[in-house]
């Protein structure tokens, strides 16, 4: 439900901006595309929820982390607010990695929204990709923000399964 609400938040923000743009026609196509992507993600999430009910898992498939990071940045750009900049820092020539795409995408969207919440006065959120040090077959994706960080007590619990501050 939390993931679904995040995607709906993106769709609603894009829709509101689309309405404002339609009055002057500038940017309407871009906002419409963002809305279409968010709604497509809602469909995928709905399919995942149905599959979960049938005890099925999403298959692992080859995926470009750079493409995934770009799509997440596009998806959340309207929803983070005008005082937050979403920046991409993409590594060159990353190999595709096998992953459950919608699960990783949902995790990244959640991390971006957590970063947004840590930037009440605005700031920057970076989505970065890269290769592991010393291992050319290891790749990573990272969400970083210019917020003040987490208090030590929360930081110690942040890796616990299902931990949340919401």
For the chain, the structural domain boundaries read 2-157
Using the predicted structure, report yes or no on whether residue 1 has a pLDDT greater than 70: no
Mean pLDDT, the chain, as a whole number?
85
C-alpha 124 chain-centroid distance: 14
**112 against 165, higher pLDDT:** 112
- Rounded CA gap, 18 and 133, in Å? 43
Three-state DSSP class for 40?
Answer: helix
What residues are paired with 143 via a beta bridge?
127
- Summarize pLDDT for 146-156 with one digit per residue, the tens: 998 888 888 88
Structure tokens at 90: 């993409």
CATH 3.30.565.10 fits 2-157, yes or no: yes
Using the predicted structure, report yes or no on whether residue 7 has a pLDDT greater than 80: no
Spatial CB neighbours of 42, under 8 Å, sequence gap ≥ 6: 4, 7, 8, 11
Using the predicted structure, report yes or no on whether residue 56 has a pLDDT greater than 70: no
**23 against 74, higher pLDDT:** 74
pTM, two decimal places = 0.69
Using the predicted structure, report yes or no on whether residue 30 has a pLDDT greater than 90: no
**Dihedrals phi, psi of 101, to nearest 5 degrees:** -50, -50
- Rounded CA gap, 146 and 163, in Å? 22
């Amino acid at each position: 439900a939390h993931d679904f609400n995040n995607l709906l938040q993106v769709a609603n923000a894009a829709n509101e901006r689309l309405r404002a743009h339609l009055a002057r026609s500038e940017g309407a196509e871009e906002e419409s595309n963002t809305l279409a992507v968010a709604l497509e993600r809602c469909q995928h999430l709905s399919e995942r929820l149905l599959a979960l009910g049938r005890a099925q898992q999403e298959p692992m498939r080859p995926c470009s982390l750079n493409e995934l990071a770009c799509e997440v940045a596009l998806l959340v750009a309207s929803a983070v607010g005008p005082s937050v900049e979403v920046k991409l820092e993409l590594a060159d020539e990353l190999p595709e990695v096998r992953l459950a795409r919608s699960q990783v995408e949902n995790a990244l969207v959640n991390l971006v929204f957590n970063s947004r919440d840590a930037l009440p006065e605005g700031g920057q959120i970076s989505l970065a990709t890269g290769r592991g040090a010393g291992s050319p077959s290891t790749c990573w994706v990272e969400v970083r923000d210019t917020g003040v960080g987490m208090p030590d007590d929360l930081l110690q619990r942040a890796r616990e399964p299902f931990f949340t501050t919401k």
